[in-house]
Structure 1
Amino acid sequence: MCMKEHVEKTDGTTFPGKTFADAVLRPVFNIQREYYYKPFIKISKAHVVMLYEQKIIDLNESKKLIEGLNEIEKKDFSAVEYNTSYEDMFFTVESKLEDIIGEDVAGRLHIARSRNDLDICEFRMVLRVKVIEIMERLNNFRKVLLNLSKEHIETVMPAYTHTQPAQPTTLAHYLLAFYDSLSRDYERIKKVYENINLSPIGAVAITTTGFPINRERMCELLGFNDVIENSYDCIAGSDYLMELASTLMILNTNMSKLIKDTLDFCTKEFNAFYLTDPYVQKSSIMPQKRNPSSLEHTRPMASAAIGEANCVFNMLHNTPFGDIVDTEEQLQPHLYKSIENTIKVLNIFTSVFATMKVNKDLLLNRSKEGFITVTELADTLVREKGLSFRKSHKITASIVKHLINNNLSIGDITPEILDELAQEVGVQELNISPQDISKALDPVNFVNIRKVTGGPAPEETRRMLENREIKIKEDIDFYREISKDLEDSEKILGDTVNNLLLIGI
Structure 2
Amino acid sequence: MYTKEYVEATDGVRFPGKSFQDAILEPVFDVQKQYLYRPFIKISKAHLVMLQEQQIITPDEARAIMQGLLEVETIDFESRRYDPSYEDMFFMVENALADKVGIDLAGRMHIARSRNDLDICEFRMVLREKVLEIIGLLNTFREVLLNLAAENIDTVMPAYTHTQPAQPSTLAHYLLAFHDSIARDCGRLMNAYHTINHSPIGAAAITTTGFPINRERMGELLGFDGLVENSYDCIAGCDYLTECASALMICNTNLSKFMKDVLDFCTREFNAFYLSAPYVQISSIMPQKRNPSSLEHTRPMISKAIAEANAVFTVLHNTPFGDIVDTEEQLQPHLYDSIEYTARVLKVVCAVLVTLKVNKKVLFDRAHEGFITATELCDTLVREKGLSFRLSHKVTSALVRQLIDRRMAIADITTELIDAIAADTIGQRLGISDQIIRAALDPVHFVAIRTVTGGPAPGEVRRMLAKRNAALETERAACEDCRARLRTADAALADAIAALLK
Instruction: Establish whether TM, by shorter chain, passes 0.5.
Output: yes
Secondary structure of 2:166's counterpart equals strand
Displacement of 1:324 in angstroms is 2.4
Q: Which runs of 5+ in 1 are unaligned?
A: none
The question of whether the paired residues in 2 share the 8 Å contact of 1:195 and 1:240 is answered with yes
What's the counterpart of residue 141 of structure 1? 141
What's the counterpart of residue 175 of structure 1? 175
Do residues 254 (structure 1) and 250 (structure 2) align? no
The question of whether the paired residues in 1 share the 8 Å contact of 2:316 and 2:326 is answered with no
2:15 maps to amino acid: F
Q: What do the CA deviations read for 1:440-486 (whole angstroms, capped 9, x no partner)?
A: 00000000011111110111111111111111111010111111111
Do residues 280 (structure 1) and 275 (structure 2) align? no
What's the counterpart of residue 329 of structure 2? 329
The question of whether the paired residues in 2 share the 8 Å contact of 1:120 and 1:325 is answered with no
What's the counterpart of residue 362 of structure 1? 362
What's the counterpart of residue 348 of structure 2? 348
Do residues 166 (structure 1) and 166 (structure 2) align? yes
Secondary structure of 2:160's counterpart equals strand
Displacement of 1:325 in angstroms is 4.2
Distance 1:283 1:471 in 2: 43
Secondary structure of 2:344's counterpart equals helix
What's the counterpart of residue 306 of structure 1? 306
Q: What do the CA deviations read for 1:318-351 (whole angstroms, capped 9, x no partner)?
A: 1100002453211001111000001111111111
Distance 1:324 1:166 in 2: 53
The question of whether the paired residues in 1 share the 8 Å contact of 2:238 and 2:327 is answered with no
Displacement of 1:426 in angstroms is 2.4
Do residues 396 (structure 1) and 396 (structure 2) align? yes
1:158 maps to amino acid: P
Displacement of 1:2 in angstroms is 7.0
Superposed counterparts of 1:92-171, under 5 Å: 92-171=92-171
2:238 maps to amino acid: S
Secondary structure of 1:157's counterpart equals strand
Distance 1:226 1:378 in 2: 59
The question of whether the paired residues in 2 share the 8 Å contact of 1:119 and 1:325 is answered with no
What's the counterpart of residue 454 of structure 1? 454
What's the counterpart of residue 242 of structure 1? 242
1:481 maps to amino acid: D
Secondary structure of 1:297's counterpart equals helix
What's the counterpart of residue 12 of structure 1? 12
Aligned residues: 502
Q: What do the CA deviations read for 1:216-257 (whole angstroms, capped 9, x no partner)?
A: 000111000001100000000000100000100000000000
Superposed counterparts of 1:188-227, under 5 Å: 188-227=188-227
Displacement of 1:18 in angstroms is 1.1
The question of whether the paired residues in 1 share the 8 Å contact of 2:112 and 2:211 is answered with yes
2:283 maps to amino acid: S
2:431 maps to amino acid: N
What's the counterpart of residue 42 of structure 2? 42
Q: CA RMSD in A?
A: 0.9
Displacement of 1:400 in angstroms is 1.0
Q: Structure 1 residues 325, 43: closer, same or farther in 2, change over 3 A?
A: farther
The question of whether the paired residues in 1 share the 8 Å contact of 2:11 and 2:19 is answered with yes
The question of whether the paired residues in 1 share the 8 Å contact of 2:311 and 2:334 is answered with yes
What's the counterpart of residue 373 of structure 1? 373
Q: What do the CA deviations read for 1:240-289 (whole angstroms, capped 9, x no partner)?
A: 10000010000000000010000000000010011111111111111111
Displacement of 1:413 in angstroms is 0.5
The question of whether the paired residues in 1 share the 8 Å contact of 2:156 and 2:170 is answered with yes
Superposed counterparts of 1:434-449, under 5 Å: 434-449=434-449
- Amino-acid identity (%): 64
The question of whether the paired residues in 2 share the 8 Å contact of 1:158 and 1:169 is answered with yes
Distance 2:198 2:258 in 1: 34
Distance 1:393 1:108 in 2: 83
Distance 1:307 1:328 in 2: 18
Q: What do the CA deviations read for 1:283-330 (whole angstroms, capped 9, x no partner)?
A: 111111111111000000000000000000011111100002453211
Distance 2:324 2:36 in 1: 17
Secondary structure of 1:169's counterpart equals strand
What's the counterpart of residue 266 of structure 1? 266
